Amino acid sequence: VTRRLLAALAMAGAAIAADSSPTVRLPPHTRQSHANGVVLLLAPLAGVPMMTAQLTIRGGSESDPSGMAGLAALTAELLRSGTSKRSADQISQEFDSIGATLTTTASREAIFIRSDFLSRDTDKLIELFSDLYAHPAFPEQEFNKTLARRIDEARAAKDEMQLALASYFPSFFFPPQHPYARPMNGDELSLTKIKREDVVAYHKRMFVGKNLIVAVSGDFDSKALTSRLGKLPFLPGGQGFQGAKEIAPVKFEGSRLALIDKPDATQTYFSISQPGIERTNPDRVPMMLVNTLFGERFTSMLNEELRVNTGLTYGARSQVDRDRLTGAIAINTYTKSDSTVEAIDLALEVLKRLSEKGISEEQLASSKAYVKGLYPTQRLETDTQIATLLTELELFGLNAGEVDDLFSAIDAVTLPKANEVARRYYRSDNLQFLLIGNATAIREKVSKYAQKMKVIPGKDPGFVVPEF
């Protein structure tokens, strides 16, 4: 039982107090670009005799074909289901026997295959990883098993309300044709449509040199590893993935409310959202400072009102998507069914206050110190954090300045700039409400929030919010 579910989830960031060492730097690393397009990032870090290797394949859920949400994530997991030389069992056996982890995840932009292992097992890991990404066999039987399990997992996700809210969100917030309009891991509707051939074709198309980023960090000798990796038969160059261009960022003409009915719920989980920014937006630093104050730390405006002052919830936060295309700014929290309206009213009041009154000089200074103070432990302390950070820069086409100049960019944010950002992005009109809770108890009371409202039975298959 912990005090802050929030703190663990919050990304936050922050670092060194303003009066001490006033900067952070991206750790020493090398970047090599191979002829076939593969980018190799190496960042040695002495200490614990372990290493992290992360393979990133551009694409992610953005590259899922229409109607096949979850294909990228499924393909990532199936890499371990067998290669031309190894069975699924053998692969697991070889990782497990040396205590190496193997995880596969998907984001909107990419899929990630990561292993944490003891440095002494480097050769073994290189051999295994090469086999996995280049020669997967996707055996039929393993495909069927994995797919069936993932379908059941998607069903079980409906029992965890926070997870369910996040899973319904994409189809609620983004228009149907938008690449972000589908759940990252798919749902029972989309997964049942996927055939083994789809996975094979996806791998063939996406696992090419131009889409691959390899990041290694940890305790190793850079020279030796560079020469070892340089000799690898990486993939053919192929066609690099080009995500859909952002023709028009997501925009709403009016307010909408979708209520997912869960008759057994004693709580309501809700999200109040509006369009935000894309990862490379020039406003990203002031936005980070404003959002920290609004809903990304314990003393944030939202948490202060909804938790500290009123005890309405265990935690309230505001989340800003940081993806390739414009995403959402979303207030997320939950409360007991009876206090649903009270909590939503209060959240809206806090939002209005930020938008109309802005923040103070003192608040801005506090946010700057907070973001800088936590930055080293959140992004630069471990091999895994460093590999993740280097990959992220590569993925979004950002340079070392993103880290090296971060503190000076933070210092340069003036109060008028911060307040301009607060006014522009944190608006009180055209808000989008997504709720999960007991519809019988709350539907009438919450109808006042939006011009259009829909109630969707939670029992309906999939994470689908039909068009309004």
Partner 1 sequence: MRLFWVFLATGFAIPLFGQQFTVSASTLSNGMKVLVHEDHRIPSVAMYFFFKVGSRNERPGTTGVSHFFEHMMFNGAKKYGPKQFDVQMEKNGGRNNASTGPDLTTYTDWFPATALELMFDMESDRIRDLAFDPKIVESERGVVYSERRTAIDNNPFGVLFEQLTAAAFVAHPYHWPVVGWASDIESWTMDDLKAHFKMGYAPNNCVLVITGDVTQEQVQSLARKYLEPIPRQEGPPPVRTKEPEQLGERRVVIERPTELPIVGVAYHVPPTNHADEPALDLLAAVLSNGRTSRLYKRLVDDGQLATEVNMFNQPSLDPGLLFAILQVRQGVDPGKVEKAMFEEVDRVAHDGVTTAELSKARNQRLVALYENFKTIAGKADLIGTYEVYYGDYRKLMTAAQDLEKVTAADVQRVAAKYLSAKNRTVATLISGPEPSKESAGKESSQ
By CB under 8 A, what part of segment 315-354 binds partner 1?
334-336, 339
| Interface with partner 1, residue 141, by CB under 8 A | no
Let me know if 219 is exposed, middle or buried by CB neighbors in 10 A (0-12, 13-18, 19+): middle
Which stretch in 46-54, 59-67, 192-200, 389-397 sits in contact with partner 1 by CB under 8 A?
46-54
Q: Which two tokens stand for residue 55?
A: 């393979």
Shortest Å distance, C-beta 43 to partner 1: 14
Residue 223 binds partner 1 (CB under 8 A): no
Kindly tell me which of 5 and 224 has the beta carbon lying closer to partner 1: 5
Q: Which CB atom, from 229 or from 386, has the smaller least distance to partner 1? A: 386
Shorter beta-carbon distance to partner 1: residue 92 or 226: 92
Residue 296: CB minimum distance to partner 1, A = 10
* Binder among 264, 429, 444, 467 for partner 1 (CB under 8 A): 264
Backbone angles phi, psi at 90, to 5 degrees: -60, -40
Per-position b or e across 341-357, b if 16+ CB within 10 A of its CB: eebbebbbebbebbbee
Considering the rule CB under 8 A, would residue 377 count as an interface residue with partner 1? yes
Q: Which region among 89-97, 193-201, 323-331, 412-420 touches partner 1 (by CB under 8 A)? A: 89-97
Q: Which of 69, 374, 393, 453 binds partner 1 (CB under 8 A)?
A: 374
Q: What burial class does residue 238 get, using C-beta atoms within 10 Å of its C-beta: 0-12 exposed, 13-18 middle, 19+ buried?
A: middle
Question: Angle at Cα 10 formed by Cα 281 and Cα 185, nearest 5°?
Answer: 80
Q: Does 307 bind partner 1 (CB under 8 A)?
A: yes
Q: Which of residues 94-133 bind partner 1 (CB under 8 A)?
A: 95-101, 116-118
User: Could you say whether residue 165 binds partner 1 (CB under 8 A)?
Assistant: no
Strand positions, DSSP E, 79-211: 103-106, 110-118
Q: Does 140 bind partner 1 (CB under 8 A)?
A: no
How many residues line the site for partner 1 (CB under 8 A)? 80
| Single-letter residue type at 283 | D
> Inter-axis angle of helices 196-206 and 71-78, to 10 degrees?
90
Tell me if 311 contacts partner 1 by CB under 8 A. yes
Nearest to 73 by CA among 194, 239, 246, 159: 194
Interface with partner 1 (CB under 8 A), residue from 331, 373, 406, 439: 373
To the nearest whole angstrom, how small is the minimum distance from the Cβ of residue 250 to partner 1?
30
Backbone torsions φ then ψ of 385, nearest 5 degrees = -60, -40
Q: CB nearer to partner 1: give 374 or 450.
A: 374
DSSP 289-344: HHHHHHHSSTTSHHHIIIIIIT---S--EEEE--SSS--EEEEEEEEEGGGHHHHH
**Residue 312 CA to its chain's centroid (Å):** 27
Which member of 298, 341, 420, 454 binds partner 1 (CB under 8 A)?
298
Report the distance separating Cα 142 and Cα 75, nearest Å. Answer: 12
155 binds partner 1 (CB under 8 A): yes
Contact positions with partner 1 (CB under 8 A) in 399-428: none
Please, what sign has the CA dihedral across residues 186, 190, 192, 195? negative
Contact call for residue 160 and partner 1 (CB under 8 A)? yes
Interface with partner 1, residue 263, by CB under 8 A: yes
Amino acid at position 128, single letter? L
> Is residue 147 at the binding interface for partner 1, with CB under 8 A as the rule?
no
- Selected from 152, 221, 246, 349, the binder of partner 1 by CB under 8 A is 152
Query: Considering the rule CB under 8 A, would residue 47 count as an interface residue with partner 1?
Result: yes
List the structure tokens of 314.
């265990």
Asked if residues 259 and 443 have their Cβ atoms less than 8 Å apart, the reply is yes
Stretch that binds partner 1, among 34-42, 87-95, 105-113, 393-401 (CB under 8 A): 87-95
Per-residue binder mask for partner 1 (CB under 8 A), 265-284, x = binder: xxx-----------------
One-letter-per-residue 3-state SS of 162-190: HHHHHHHHHHHHCCCCCCCCCCCCCCHHH
Q: Does 5 bind partner 1 (CB under 8 A)?
A: yes
Which one among 28, 103, 148, 414 touches partner 1, defined by CB under 8 A? 148
Find the binder of partner 1 among 25, 28, 32, 156 (CB under 8 A). Answer: 156
- Min CB(169)–partner 1 separation in Å: 18
Least Å distance, CB 177 to partner 1, is 30
Residue 151 or 250 with smaller CB distance to partner 1: 151
Q: Which residues contact 140 (CB under 8 A, 6 or more apart)?
A: 196
Tell which residue, 127, 126, 148, 125, has the closest CA to residue 78.
148
Q: What is the DSSP letter of 83?
A: B
* CA separation for the pair 337, 287 (Å, rounded): 32
Does position 249 interact with partner 1 (CB under 8 A)? The reply is no
> From the CB of 83, what's the least distance to partner 1, in Å?
15
Contact 29, 43 (CB under 8 A): yes
From 237-245, 310-318, 405-413, 427-435, span contacting partner 1 (CB under 8 A): 310-318
177 binds partner 1 (CB under 8 A): no
